[in-house]
Amino acid sequence: MKRLLLVVGVLVLLAAAALGALVWSMNFGGERIRDGAPRTPPAREQVARGAYLARAGNCMLCHTERGGAAYAGGRPLETPFGTVYASNITPDAETGIGTWSAAHFRRALHEGRSRDGRLLYPVFPYTHMTRVTEPDADALFDYLRSLPAVSRPNRQHRLRWPYSTQAALAVWRTLYFRPEQQEENPSRPAEWNRGAYLVQGLGHCGACHAARDAFGGQRDSMDLSGGLIPMQNWYAPSLASPTEAGVADWSIDAIVQLLATGASPRGTVLGPMAEVVLHSTQYLEPADLRAMAVFLKGLPQTPTDTDPREVPRAAASVLERGGKLYERHCAACHGDQGQGVPGAYPPLAGNRAVMLANTSNLVQVILHGGFPPATRGQPRPFGMPPFATVMSDADVAAVITYVRSSWNNRAAPVSELSVSQQRSSTRE
């Protein structure tokens, strides 16, 4: 018996050692980078190209604190595991990336590792940036090193143990991350492949438009099937579902218009997507917007799993209450039949955003308002005021339920409890 226990113990130790070696090799292996910071200034054309790519990747949004210097970091990024603070990526030698080489920067994008080899937290979406090509990575680096150096020390992350440790991060990466290149599909035209690169790589759309598990991981970084954005109470709808945000039946021009201006005859962007349009996609070249549209339009469509005949009917008292609230607060803009006003207020009748199974976005908009981005193509968009101080949780639930049950809309009612929980989590 003792001999058996000894054998088992040795086997367990060997398995643990092998697993540890695997985790180490997958995260801390590789050659040491000895390149120093470049001494010559980058070419003007390279800087301009890098600036464009930084727009496409929306880098400044995360790496700039509100009211702070561009790319100097400090913005708090809330996660279920604590707060990560964006780093300073200006060319300051002490607090930024002024001592980095192009090879260090490429490794950060492709492998998620800092100059000293330290593992980076995947709030920085290297799980998608790993697909950025080497020439594009070099152009991004040359743009960043052309910026004014800002001396601003990086803030220490505030993460709970063990999520604050490199060991835990190494295990996470072993489970969820593999460095990979964007592979061209030879059966598809160049325009489709360019769109795939922008959506799946540089634009990292899947960072929001895919579900995450309890550890914040995504099994497939190319998944675009929708998911709740952690800590924000916004649902990024599926880009492959005709009942959510799929665009297979849209025209290419309508998709381009939405990405360029934030609004089109088929829909309007709000919440986090409004920030994407405001800071990124409105600045993209028409050819790149068209490439993204071609790729998104060609995504395989996922079937709906909701049968309208099975939608539960709301209580008559709730519908009556919701109807009165709608007439008082909503009908002036959205119309008594939910028809909306073209170019100003979106219709609610037949609006798939209204009928999403996940109602987080509706609750967010009613409580906190809905504001499309002000863009060059739509400089003065019409917004929606917040009703958090006007409506109770029961009122919000009733008016949403009324809208989801009227004008041939068929969607499940919303409970007062779900509104209360969302309002409380937003306060926190």
DSSP state of 104: H
The answer on whether 334 is annotated among ligand-binding residues is: yes
Report cis status (omega within 30 of 0) of the bond before 308.
no
The answer on whether 110 is annotated among ligand-binding residues is: no
- CA 427, CA 389: separation in Å to the nearest integer? 13
SS (H, E, C) 225-263: CEEEECCCCEEECCCCCCCCCCCCCCCHHHHHHHHHHCE
When computed from its CA atoms, the radius of gyration of the chain, rounded to whole angstroms, is 24
Cβ pair 148, 162 in contact under 8 A: no
Residue 171: count other Cβ atoms within 10 Å of its Cβ: 18
Residue 427: count other Cβ atoms within 10 Å of its Cβ: 7
Cβ pair 138, 130 in contact under 8 A: no
Burial of 410 (0-12, 13-18, 19+ CB in 10 A): middle
The answer on whether 204 is annotated among ligand-binding residues is: no
The answer on whether 368 is annotated among ligand-binding residues is: no
HSE-CB of 142 using CA atoms within 13 angstroms: 19
The answer on whether 329 is annotated among ligand-binding residues is: no
- CA 119, CA 103: separation in Å to the nearest integer? 16
- CA 323, CA 336: separation in Å to the nearest integer? 10
The answer on whether 157 is annotated among ligand-binding residues is: no
Classify the C-alpha dihedral 387-389-390-396 as positive or negative: positive
**Tokens 């799980």 belong to which residue?**
127
Long-range CB contacts (within 8 A, 24+) of 221-230: 221/127, 221/128, 224/199, 224/299, 225/302, 226/358, 228/358, 228/360, 229/272, 230/78, 230/79, 230/80
Residue 182's φ and ψ, nearest 5 degrees, are: -75, 120
**Tokens 């504001």 belong to which residue?**
371
Of 343, 244, 259, 269, nearest to 294 (Cα)? 259
Query: Which residues are known binding-site members for heme c?
Result: 59, 62-63, 205, 208-209, 330, 333-334
Query: Which residues are known binding-site members?
Result: 59, 62-63, 205, 208-209, 330, 333-334
